[in-house]
Amino acid sequence: MNPDNLIKMANQIGSFFETMPDREQAQSDIASHIKRFWEPRMRRSLLQYVDQHDGVDLMDIVLETLRSHRAAVL
């Protein structure tokens, strides 16, 4: 999987949910969205990117979500 495309899509999701006043709920919703709509290979590739590159280029809310809700994303 091309990490650039995954990063772009993850950041688009983050942009949508970032406006929510409850950040924890926003993170939960981001994780749920990725789990429901991304195939397992995409989710694994994104988490691998986070592990290998410290999440460079991901929005803060997306990176925080992937770190704190990792099990929910898998």
Q: How many CA atoms lie within 13 A of 64 on its CB side?
A: 13
pLDDT band at 1 (very low <50, low <70, confident <90, very high): confident
Q: Is the dihedral of CA 31, 11, 41, 38 positive or negative?
A: positive
From 42, 15, 41, 52, select the one nearest 30 (Cα to Cα): 15
pLDDT of residue 11: 98
Which pLDDT does position 4 carry in this prediction?
Answer: 96
Q: Predicted confidence band at 55 (pLDDT cuts at 50, 70, 90)? A: very high
- Tell me: the pLDDT tens digits for 21-35? 999 999 999 999 999
pLDDT at 33: 98
